[in-house]
């Protein structure tokens, strides 16, 4: 049965059943991936962490981890399976994260991103993030990170509500 766009873009809280797929995407995506037990701890046991997956029920196209500590939110991680990129999953997840962080009382959201990661940086800038600074040798391979921040006190339009630019 063909899946419609709404089903494909379904976002749900990460569950124990999603962890094998999340862990596989994490391992295939990052040079210094979080091990499965760390992903499980964050998703299922850290009371300050909210983790989401996107994709039809039983299937994970991408995921994101958010921490909210009072008015400060932090996007810990966001990733889409390589073969699923470029179809709007990452943007749908980010919009959801921003709305969720705001609903939890977040006023600012921060993240770190590899300076060379053009796709992620473009996504963040598209959704209101600005570069705050740079951390030298932030990653285990010595690469620098950009620190980015967005104001989430005002709701921003989702991808489908945007018109141009």
Give catalytic residue positions. Answer: 112, 124
Comparing CA positions, the residue from 30, 39, 40 lying closest to residue 120 is 30
**Segment lying near ligand COA (by CB under 6 A), choices 1-9, 16-24, 73-81, 149-157:** 73-81
Residue pair 53/22 in contact (Cβ under 8 Å)? The answer is yes
Contacts of 16 (CB under 8 A, 6+ apart): 40, 44
* Element spanning 97, H or E: helix 89-103
| Residue 119 sits in the site that holds ligand COA (CB under 6 A) | yes
Contacts of 126 (CB under 8 A, 6+ apart): 91
Q: Could you tell me the smallest distance in angstroms from the CB atom of residue 153 to ligand COA?
A: 23
Binding mask 95-114 vs ligand COA (x if CB under 6 A, - otherwise)? ------------------x-
Using CB atoms, what's the residue nearest to ligand COA? 90
Which position among 17, 20, 118, 151 is part of the footprint of ligand COA (CB under 6 A)?
118
| Residue 120 sits in the site that holds ligand COA (CB under 6 A) | yes
Considering only residues 76-95, where is the footprint of ligand COA by CB under 6 A?
Answer: 78-80, 85-91
Q: Angle CA(124)–CA(165)–CA(105) in degrees, nearest 5? A: 40
Q: Which residues bind ligand COA (CB under 6 A)?
A: 29, 78-80, 85-91, 113, 117-120, 122-123, 126
């Amino acid at each position: 049965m063909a899946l419609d766009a709404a089903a494909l873009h379904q976002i749900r809280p990460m569950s124990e059943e999603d962890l094998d797929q999340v862990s596989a995407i994490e391992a295939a995506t990052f040079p210094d991936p979080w091990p499965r037990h760390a992903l499980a701890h964050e998703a299922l046991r850290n009371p300050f962490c909210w983790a989401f997956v996107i994709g039809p029920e039983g299937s994970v196209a991408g995921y994101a981890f958010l921490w909210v500590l009072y008015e400060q939110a932090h996007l810990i991680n966001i990733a889409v399976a390589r073969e699923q990129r470029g179809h709007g999953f990452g943007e749908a997840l980010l919009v959801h994260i921003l709305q969720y962080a705001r609903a939890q009382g977040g006023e600012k959201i921060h993240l770190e991103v590899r300076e060379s990661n053009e796709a992620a940086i473009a996504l963040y800038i598209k959704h209101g993030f600005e570069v705050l600074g740079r951390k030298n040798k932030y990653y285990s391979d010595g690469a620098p990170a950009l620190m980015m921040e967005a104001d989430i006190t005002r709701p921003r339009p989702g991808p489908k509500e945007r018109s141009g630019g």
